[in-house]
């Protein structure tokens, strides 16, 4: 399937050169997995998008309109990834937002990326990134367009056998992976990093927290993570992927990860049957 794109509802792949999303990263995006025309995590994506609009003082788009456009660009495909991008639109030079902003929405569909089945059974290799994620509570949690930290972190390695990089903040607390959230089992309890200062609060993370209300959300120092009984990553498109190794430390596929993988699979299977 070739990528199909709508800009403000019009079939085109072009935006203005003075768009503030291009100039300053002034906007938001969501990357949504669709199976048989349905998105099991749609409401969570819309909730985060609405929260992001409030944080950036952007007019929130009509979610029913977004649903129609997402269905249009993904029509005729069994499995696709729909990206919704919202920018503040065009404006004059300078950081000051235009007084009467006209947001631009971009809705595009691409094929679902292939993930080797072994990743879900044997797990993936990770490495620690040198880059430290900066703290900015105003932007923490939302998926804004400025992802330069993730780009620079991902550029730190080219070994295809390493699937992800682990990101920490300036204090050595785990934030997440370059494109996923992190969970660990410590002394029998599920733990995931708090994201009030930095990081992206993923919708797959939110789904796991809904399933496991006993999960501790707190600062997670690196030395604690390395003592975990099991570690897994969550991503809205790739699902729940166990971590087999981080640097020189290795882990087997753990029972908590297996249970959540089954719940994730059932969520998407039931959506396909609906």
What is the per-residue pLDDT across 22-31, written as a single tens digit (0 to 9) for each? 999 999 999 9
What are the extents of the domains in the chain? 4-111, 118-273
| Helix or strand holding residue 149 (H, E) | helix 148-154
Beta strands in 95-180, from DSSP E residues, in sequence order: 104-111, 124-133, 162-169, 174-177
DSSP assignment string, 151-169: HHHHTT---TTEEEEEEEE
pLDDT in tens, 174-227: 999 999 999 999 999 999 999 999 999 999 999 999 999 999 999 999 999 999
Among residues 175, 181, 179, 166, the alpha carbon closest in space to that of 135 is found at: 175
- Burial profile 187-204: b = 16 or more Cβ within 10 angstroms, e = fewer: eeebbbbbbebbbbbbbb
| C-alpha to C-alpha distances, 184 to 7, 25, 202, 247, nearest whole angstrom | 40, 32, 16, 16
| Average of per-residue pLDDT across 102-128 | 94
Residue 240, phi then psi, degrees to nearest 5:
-110, 115
Q: Are strands 104-111 and 79-87 parallel, antiparallel or unpaired?
A: antiparallel
Q: Of all residues in the chain, what percent carry a pLDDT higher than 90?
A: 91
Select the CATH number that applies to the domain covering 4-111 from these four: 3.40.50.920, 3.30.470.10, 1.10.357.10, 2.30.110.10: 3.30.470.10
- At a CB cut-off of 8 Å and minimum separation 6, what does 29 contact? 83, 84, 85, 86, 143, 145
Distance CA 144, CA 141 (A): 9
DSSP, collapsed to helix, strand or coil, labels residue 53 as: helix
Question: Fold identical between 4-111 and 118-273?
Answer: no
- pLDDT of 2 strictly over 90: no
Location of structure tokens 């409030």? 54
What pLDDT shows up at residue 269? 74
Residue 225, phi then psi, degrees to nearest 5:
-55, -40
pLDDT-based confidence at residue 117 (cuts at 50, 70, 90): confident
pLDDT-based confidence at residue 274 (cuts at 50, 70, 90): very low
Please determine, looking at this structure, whether the domain spanning 118-273 carries the CATH number 3.20.10.10.
Answer: yes
pLDDT in tens, 25-83: 999 999 999 999 999 999 999 999 999 999 999 999 999 999 999 999 999 999 999 99
DSSP, collapsed to helix, strand or coil, labels residue 233 as: strand
Q: What is the mean pLDDT of the chain?
A: 95
Q: What is the pTM of this model?
A: 0.94
């Amino acid at each position: 399937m070739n990528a199909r794109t709508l800009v403000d509802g019009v079939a085109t792949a072009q935006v203005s050169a003075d768009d503030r999303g291009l100039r300053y990263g002034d906007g938001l995006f969501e990357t949504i997995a669709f199976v048989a025309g349905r998105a099991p995590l749609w409401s969570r994506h819309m909730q985060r998008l609405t929260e992001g609009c409030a944080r950036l003082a952007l007019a929130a788009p009509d979610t029913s309109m977004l649903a129609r456009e997402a269905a249009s660009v993904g029509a005729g495909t069994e499995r696709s990834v729909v990206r919704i991008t919202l920018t503040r639109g065009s404006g004059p030079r300078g950081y000051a937002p235009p007084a009467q902003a006209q947001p631009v929405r971009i809705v595009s569909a691409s094929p679902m990326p292939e993930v080797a089945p072994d990743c879900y059974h044997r797990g993936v290799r990770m490495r620690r990134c040198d880059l430290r994620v900066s703290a900015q509570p105003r932007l923490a949690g939302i998926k804004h367009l400025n992802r330069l930290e993730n780009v620079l972190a991902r550029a730190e390695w080219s070994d295809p056998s390493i699937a992800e990089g682990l990101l920490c903040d300036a204090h050595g607390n785990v934030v997440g992976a370059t494109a996923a959230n992190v969970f660990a089992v410590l002394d029998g309890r599920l733990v995931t990093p708090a994201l009030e200062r930095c990081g992206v609060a993923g919708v797959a993370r939110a789904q796991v927290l809904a399933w496991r209300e006993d999960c501790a959300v707190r600062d997670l120092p690196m030395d604690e993570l390395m003592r975990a009984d099991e570690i897994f990553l969550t991503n809205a498109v790739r699902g729940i992927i166990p971590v087999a190794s981080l640097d020189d430390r290795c882990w087997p596929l753990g029972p908590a990860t297996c249970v959540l993988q089954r719940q994730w699979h059932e969520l998407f299977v039931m959506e396909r049957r609906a």
